[in-house]
Structure formats: C-alpha cells, structure tokens
Amino acid sequence: MAHDTRPTQDENPRPAQEPACDSSHGCASCAADEPQRTLSRRHFLKGVGVTAGLVAAGTVPAFLTAAPRAASGSESTDAAEIPGHETGIEHLTEHSGEVNYPGKPVWYADEPGDEKWAMVIDVKACVGCRKCVYACVRENNIGRESGFTYIQVLEMELGSNELELGNVDYEEGGRPDKWYLPVQCMHCAKPSCVYGCPVVATWREPDGIVVIDYDKCIACRNCMITCPYDARHFNWVEPEVPKNEVNPKVPLHEKAGVVEKCTFCVQRTRNGMSTVCTEACPVGARTFGDLNDPDSAVSHILRTRRAFRLKEELGNEPAIWYVG
C-alpha cells in the first residue's frame, strides 16, 4: 500500500516538463501548455493513488498499520528539509508509536519513560575483544551451554562491509588487517520480527525497546526467520547459569524453550544506568543514550559524525548506528 500511495506524495511534474523545455529554448507556447498538462496529470495520479489506497485499505486490514507509518515518514522528511531545523536528526525519532502493540508490562523492569533509546558503535575503535559479549552473557542470564550470545562480533575484511566475507568465529581480536563489527538486536523502529510473530508475544515498547513475553511465546521461531540481523536466539536447551552468577534482576527459567534476545538491558537502562555492553567496552566504542534528548551523547554523535546503519536498505530502521 505504501507503493500505491506514493504517486500522490511525489507529485513531481518535472519528468513531463523537462524534456519538452530542454529541446525548445524559450518556447512560449510550450511553457504555457505545460502547467495545464501537469495539472491534469497530477489530478490523475492523485485519483489513482486515492483509489488504490482505498481498495488496499478496504481489502487488507493487516496493512492498515502501514498507513500511519508512511504518512509520518513523509512528514518527518519534510521537517528535516526546513532550513534552520534544530537537530537534523529529529526525523529519526518520529517513528514512535507504530508497532507498540499493547503488551503486558515487563515485570522485571520499570515502566518505560519518555526516552527513545539508541546506541552508536564506533567501528574504528572496536578491537574485537568480545568484552561486551561476555559482560552481556553474565548480566542477562544467558545459559552458559545455550550456544548463543546476544552480541555477535564479526571480524570483517578491510575494504569491505560484505557480511558474507566476515567471520563470527574468529580466534582473538585486535588484528590490524581486520575490522570488527558487533551485531545484536537493533531495536528496529519497524521490527520485522514483531510483524512476523503470529501471537503478538513480542512488541516494541514506547521507549523503543523491543521486548518478548516469555510466557506467551509459542516457540514457533518465526521471529528468528524474519530478523535480518540474526539477533534472536532460541533456548534449545534449558538455560543453565551457576548459582552464584545468576542475576536476580533478570528472568532465567522463564526463558526455557522460548526465544530471547538483547533487551538494551531494560532492567538497567530504565533505572538510570547504561547497558552493560557499553560499560564493559574497554575502548569506549559504544555510546548509549536518549535520542529524544538533543544534548545526549548519541544525539551529538549522530549530528556530528558520519553514521550508518546495518542493512539500512531493508527499511527496518534500526536504533543502533555505526560510525567509522
């Protein structure tokens, strides 16, 4: 449906106009004709778009959710183009409520606040030491024998960001002829995992954190299929954590036989702390903060550095940026 409505938004008369005027220098009759033609063309496109939109909205209720998203997306783009616009990155926080399916409160964390959480990872600084991975495993009660970690660090080839050339199972980091790309749940604004969950057992909280209801997950693992970042992991074995290492603030046995993933350390970040991976990084490659706060470190970095997101072409709009 987003495709169908596009003609009404784009309404660009130039394609019809340009060739005619380029060929005839100062042709008065041509110039007089043009507005008439483009106007009717515009009306026509509008009619097509509206009709298509109505048809799509009427027949496919599932895609109704796409309508407000498309609209807010175009508005925010317009806002970003206004000269003297304050931050220039505000459009990134506009995608607030689209997929906030009403889920139950995360019982082991506080209520979400007004923040919009985001993270920036400096791949120039990252040495691939995996300190973040280990800290995350301890903080989040990841089963020691479960065979997965929330964070995966890819050892990448120089001169390429082709994931297929990267390697997750590298021996030790710090090689000067490689660069390192940590990947985890991106807490997307348009999370395909949330769209793909058949029972609404996962959703995006108002502060941007994508969470899972361990008591509702039916273990169909469809979210693992739909996630483009390999961020979701299934507990194939009972998660085992040594007694003295269990973090009482995070569920453990509830995670048996269901899917789990990075939560942006919801139990910490909603209590004024940073994520544990950010704190554990010895080189300060990670910055975590609030996009809604123009003075936060993440907002500052996104304003001043050249940042990119992984697989941005898929349109999931991750909340983790990379800077180099």
CB neighbours of residue 189 within 10 Å: 23
Q: How far is the CB of 315 from other proteins (least distance, A)?
A: 8
Of the candidates 15, 26, 58, 198, which one interacts with other proteins according to CB under 8 A? 198
Is 235 near other proteins (CB under 8 A)?
yes
Is 234 near other proteins (CB under 8 A)?
yes
Is 218 near other proteins (CB under 8 A)?
yes
User: What is the phi-psi region of residue 50: left when phi exceeds 0, alpha when psi lies from -120 to 50, beta otherwise?
Assistant: alpha
Nearer CB in complex with other proteins: 65/87: 65
How far lies 126's CA from each of 12, 132, 175, 278, 322, in Å? 44, 10, 11, 12, 11
Is 26 near other proteins (CB under 8 A)?
no
Nearer CB in complex with other proteins: 229/321: 229
187 neighbors 318 (Cβ within 8 angstroms): yes
Helices and strands: H and E segment counts in the chain? 10, 10
Q: How far apart are CA 113 and CA 217, in angstroms?
A: 25
Q: Which stretch binds other proteins (CB under 8 A): 25-33, 55-63, 70-78, 279-287?
A: 55-63
Interface with other proteins: number of residues (CB under 8 A): 50
Per-residue contact flags (x/-) with other proteins for residues 79 to 108, judged by CB under 8 A: ----------------------x-------
Looking at the DSSP bridge assignments, the partners of residue 167 are: 155
Nearer CB in complex with other proteins: 83/198: 198
Burial zone of 319 (CB within 10 Å; 0-12 exposed, 13-18 middle, 19+ buried): buried
Is 123 near other proteins (CB under 8 A)?
no
Pairing of strands 117-122, 152-157: unpaired
Is 52 near other proteins (CB under 8 A)?
no
Contacts of 91 (CB under 8 A, 6+ apart): 76, 77, 79, 80
The pair of three-digit structure tokens given for residue 192, joined into one six-digit string = 């395909």
Span 173-192, contacts to other proteins by CB under 8 A: 183, 192
Is 158 near other proteins (CB under 8 A)?
no
Of the candidates 23, 62, 243, 306, which one interacts with other proteins according to CB under 8 A? 62
Q: How far apart are CA 299 and CA 303, in angstroms?
A: 6
Is 164 near other proteins (CB under 8 A)?
yes
Is 314 near other proteins (CB under 8 A)?
yes
Is 161 near other proteins (CB under 8 A)?
no
Is 212 near other proteins (CB under 8 A)?
no
DSSP letter string over 183-230?
A: E-----SS-HHHHH-TT--EEE-TTS-EEE-TTT-----HHHHH-TT-
User: Which positions lie near other proteins, rule CB under 8 A?
Assistant: 61-63, 65, 101, 147-148, 152, 154, 162-168, 183, 192, 195-201, 216-222, 224-230, 233-238, 256-258, 314-315
